[in-house]
Chains A and B, each alone.
Chain A
Amino acid sequence: MRTSLRLLLAATGAAALVTVVAVPANAATTSTTATVAVQAGELSISAPDVLALAAAAPGSTATGTLSGVEVSDQRAGILGWATTAAISDFTSATTTTTIPADAVGFTSSTAAVEGTATVTPSDVAATSGAVQTATDVTGNNTATWDQTVNVAIPSDALGATDYTATLTYSVL
């Protein structure tokens, strides 16, 4: 066999190898993670309800309670969850004034728990924080509690009836 022919064969072989190797390599760069469809369990929280605060004079505390906040963890695992509450500043369109959210506190009742979980309430004195934390979870669990929101009205607050704020419950 001629040397040139050998070289040609070798070159062809090398080219073929490169092609074979290159195709899957290209395919791999578009998506490296193969996924499978699973029916994982769901984490859910009760729908938001209107929270209304009782009337309060400046210098006192306005209080409102949201009953029956519920978290349902159907993920059938051991991962816990934490529910945090966060509140924005109270603003009034008529007086264009603000009651800062740092005057807000949250207190939670002890949760009624179904399933195996330890759900610990914690009081929050800041604009946001964990109000209920579920640990030692085994399988599906639900927790229901009452959430009280206290707003300390500064004594220099301007009177208005249209103060509004946004209260967010997050479960993660």
Chain B
Amino acid sequence: MKQRSGMAIGLVLAALLSASAVVPSRAVAATPDAGGGDAADSGIGIGIRMLDIPAASQTDPRARAYIIDNVPPGTTIQRRVRVRNGTDTAQSIAVYPAAARISGGAFIGDEGATANELTSWISVAQPELSVAAHATADDLVTIAVPATATMGERYAAVWAEIRSARPSAGADAHHPSITSISRVGVRTYLSVGPGNGPQSSFAISSLTAQRDANGTPHVLAAVENTGGRAIDLSGTLSLSGGPAGLNAGPFPTERIVTLAPGAKGNVTVPLSASLPRGPWDAKLTLSSGLLSQSIAATVTLPAAGHRATTVAPAGLSGRELAWIIGGGIAVLIILIAAGILVAWAIRSRRRRSRR
């Protein structure tokens, strides 16, 4: 027991280097997944999946993976989740909601069981699940939106969590250590409002070609969430009509950019350093779930050593189109009114002069 006394007093953290440096408690890898079937032990560690999705959004890939809904105040919704223990031992799995936020273009789950308004509405039928090795258990998540809830979208995550046993028990009860926790979550985007809720929409306003410090070219798209719901944007950029008729791409976006309603952000598409400068006919398509937008613009990559060139899209954006149509109608009405006025004035003058 007094092995520790051998350690120098100055030692602050002393421990064994992870002796069991192997992939922890994986399911036997020898059993290949038969085309992603629902074999109970086809996964690793701890897993979570949704069992219910709203009938109205069955085809929306986001609704299959996340809890996404719009409900009026005073409504209760329920979703089942299936939690799987992929380890070789029985586990006690904690299931709980925690706050989440959209920040810096990413959906971020806060640490621990941080609370926010939405988490106070979420309850889990069984906060502690005892799951045998390589087995699953279902849990029921209930979101009770109070009648006093104000409009707007709120974010949270429903987590399933397992903790490592206290390390090296027995040999030295006071061994310095790090307790590890693995948790996997389901994002929750809950909008409160009447009917089917605010519309989702976004606009791509410009493309910027630039080079980073290493000289790798990027195309940066300025996007704005113009709707009332959060969006998760990703997509591809295709280049065509380049020098000597070259085509390139499609190049995928660097990461999924999550934008809260009204938020602006940049979607980055890294390109290959060996691309000629152009000019290129660039077509960027971004989508969030079933929502999709494209813009086309002529892009010329900045010369090596230069920073950026911004171009407006070749097509007209929705807002510009609205101004053109709306403005056109307004001008037309004014012209017609003026015409009538002039005609009336002329006629009345003639009548007066005839008399």
Q: Which positions in A face B, CB cutoff 8 Å? A: 29-58, 62, 64-68, 70, 72, 74-80, 82, 84, 86-87, 90, 94, 99, 118, 120, 128, 130, 133, 135-136, 140, 144, 149, 151, 153, 157-172
Which residues on the B side are within 8 Å of A153 (C-beta)? 12-13
Which residues on the A side are within 8 Å of B177 (C-beta)? 50-52, 164
* Residue in B closest to A49 when the chains form the complex, CB atoms: B24
Q: Which positions in B face A, CB cutoff 8 Å? A: 4, 7-26, 33, 36, 38, 42-56, 58, 61-62, 64-66, 69, 71-72, 74-79, 82, 84, 86-87, 91, 100, 106-109, 111-112, 157, 159, 162-164, 167-168, 174-185, 187, 232, 234, 252-256
Known contacts A46-B182, A55-B15, A62-B13; A39 and B46 CB within 8 A of each other = no
Are B61 and A161 touching (Cβ within 8 A)? no
Are B12 and A99 touching (Cβ within 8 A)? yes
* Residue in A closest to B72 when the chains form the complex, CB atoms: A32
Are B64 and A38 touching (Cβ within 8 A)? yes
Residue pairs across A and B with CB atoms within 8 Å: the count is 298
Q: Give the distance to chain B from A68, nearest Cβ to Cβ, in Å.
A: 3
Are B50 and A118 touching (Cβ within 8 A)? no
Known contacts A41-B36, A130-B106; A48 and B48 CB within 8 A of each other = no
Which residues on the B side are within 8 Å of A38 (C-beta)? 50-53, 58, 64
Are A40 and B47 touching (Cβ within 8 A)? no
Which residues on the B side are within 8 Å of A39 (C-beta)? 38, 51
Partner among B22, B111, B187 whose Cβ is within 8 Å of the Cβ of A67: B22
Best-surrounded residue of A34, A50, A54, A75 (most CB of chain B within 10 A): A50
Partner among A33, A74, A76 whose Cβ is within 8 Å of the Cβ of B69: A33
Q: Give the distance to chain A from B234, nearest Cβ to Cβ, in Å.
A: 7
Are B54 and A33 touching (Cβ within 8 A)? yes
Are A51 and B18 touching (Cβ within 8 A)? yes
